[in-house]
Amino acid sequence: MSVVGSALIEFPKPLAEITDFNRPFFAALKAHQFLVPRCRTCGDYSWIPYPACRSCQSLDLNWTPVSGEATLYTFSVVHRGPGAFGADVPYVVAMGELVEQPRPCLVIANLIGAAPDTLHIGQQLRMAYEDRPGEHSTGYHWVTAPS
């Protein structure tokens, strides 16, 4: 687990809406833990939070902690960000494939702390957390993991 710091000023970007369904996910982020829905019927992990299993359509899901370890599945370098994201360009939006299986579980997040020209598909990633005390929330990012 990595913590990339705390935002000491007001966070200028939109924050996700917390609902009864996704509340366990956001509560776990505050504890620097990453949860994904896991199907109690077939055992598959899913992302993004959705009320039914993506594999078997069962509604019997359980929020389950995962390691936060992943491999870089694909990424895009953003050179023109909208609104408050414009100050961050260039930035990397990455899709990481969690090590948890049987079904590949792909999570999208910004990848921080690495120059875009150093990235390659298959690179090891891990989840990192950013506390936002002024917003009473915690965000998540990918960071590269040592090989």
| Single-letter residue type at 35 | L
Query: What's the pLDDT at 3?
Result: 60
- pLDDT for the residue numbered 93: 97
Instruction: Specify the higher pLDDT residue, 113 or 3.
Output: 113
The answer to whether position 102 is within a domain reads: yes
Place of tokens 């049987």: 102
Domain with 94, as residue range(s), is 14-144
**Digit-coded pLDDT (tens) for 78-125:** 999 888 888 889 999 999 999 998 888 999 999 999 999 999 999 999
Q: Assess whether pLDDT exceeds 80 at residue 14.
A: no
**Which residues face 81 on adjacent strands?**
none
Domains in the chain: how many in total? 1
Q: Would 47 be classed as within a structural domain? A: yes
What pLDDT is attached to residue 82?
86
3 within some domain: no
Question: Has residue 73 been placed in a domain?
Answer: yes
Comparison of pLDDT for 7 and 99, the residue scoring more = 99
pLDDT of residue 8: 52
> Is 8 within a domain?
no
Ranges assigned E (strand) in 40-123: 61-66, 69-78, 91-98, 106-111
**Residue 136, in any domain of the structure:** yes
Q: Judge whether 4 lies within some domain.
A: no
9 domain-assigned: no
Q: What pLDDT was estimated at residue 74?
A: 98
- Show Cβ contacts of residue 23 under 8 Å, excluding neighbours closer than 6 positions: none
Query: pLDDT by residue (tens digit) across 60-79?
Result: 999 999 999 999 999 999 99
What per-residue confidence (pLDDT) applies to 11?
66
More confident residue, 108 or 10: 108
- Its pTM stands at 0.86
Q: What is the CA 10 to chain-centroid distance, rounded?
A: 21
